[in-house]
Amino acid sequence: MKRRLIKILAVVALLAAGAGILAWCAIYRVVDQPAWIASNQRDHYFYGSAGATKAEGMPYWIWLALPRLFPEHMPATGGYAALGLSWEEGREMPVGFAKQRVGYIRVSGNCALCHAVSHSNGPDSAPTILTAVKGQATDLQPLFKFYRDCAQDPRFNADELFSEINDDTRLSLQDKLLYRYILIPRIQKQLIDDPAALLLSPDLRAHALDPHASGPLSDQQAPALKEWMQAQMQSPAH
């Protein structure tokens, strides 16, 4: 009887360990971004992760679905670009958003979300995106208002979001459970309470409050990018 009990306890321990590993992979496992993002300083600045492991981040499929599910909360047509964000032609997402798998695929903000600005070239031409202009920054309040309005809408629920997400991908059973019972309720609360804390790492938020602080790259092994960003800030707009 004692030997049988030991075997049962061993099996239970193995199952618990396996479940723990799966849970860790689903929430915390970090996967590097695609190589093209780090291939040059400009792309790294525009789309590279800046503290994604420290920010909660927006689950990517929710981030993608919101403008389509809630167009009435947008100030105009055009998706995220209608919120005043810079968007390079042919790119998946606006400048300043970083997509990375940290457990699940999530979207977080980086330095370019505020510092990169667009100058219009007329209705028939793509805008010019300036990497950084001293004294100018993107107003993120329309983005945060959009997120709050979405989260307060009764349609912000798993069934409605899954219906929209299914147009882009088929979530696995594990991801569906993660989204329905953990991510969607948590993200909804955070979008209402403080969307900036959801998107930005603590370092980025501190830098936004005090631009003279060392900034979010101080704890990363990216001195070349930090030097490049500082040079851009000193360059005149053109």
Same domain, 20 and 109: no
Q: Are 26 and 104 in contact (CB under 8 A)?
A: yes
Sign of CA dihedral 197, 190, 91, 76: negative
Q: How many domains are there within the chain?
A: 2
Same domain, 10 and 107: no
Q: How far apart are CA 104 and CA 148, in angstroms?
A: 22
Same domain, 72 and 124: yes
Q: How far apart are CA 82 and CA 119, in angstroms?
A: 14
Mean pLDDT of the chain: 80
Q: Compute φ and ψ for 213, nearest 5 degrees.
A: -70, 170
Determine the pLDDT at residue 222: 55
Determine the pLDDT at residue 134: 65
Same domain, 23 and 115: no
Determine the pLDDT at residue 89: 86
Determine the pLDDT at residue 137: 77
**110 closest CA partner among 142, 135, 85, 76:** 85
Same domain, 144 and 62: yes
| pLDDT range class, residue 23, cuts 50, 70, 90 | very low
Same domain, 156 and 210: yes
Same domain, 82 and 152: yes
Determine the pLDDT at residue 203: 80
| pLDDT range class, residue 104, cuts 50, 70, 90 | very high
Beta strands 58-59; 97-102: pairing state: unpaired
pLDDT in tens, 142-154: 999 999 999 999 9
Determine the pLDDT at residue 100: 93
DSSP-assigned beta bridge partners for residue 105: 101
Determine the pLDDT at residue 136: 66
Same domain, 12 and 84: no
Q: Which domain holds residue 49?
A: 31-234
pTM above 0.95, yes or no: no
Same domain, 99 and 213: yes
pLDDT in tens, 174-210: 999 999 999 999 999 999 999 999 998 888 887 766 6
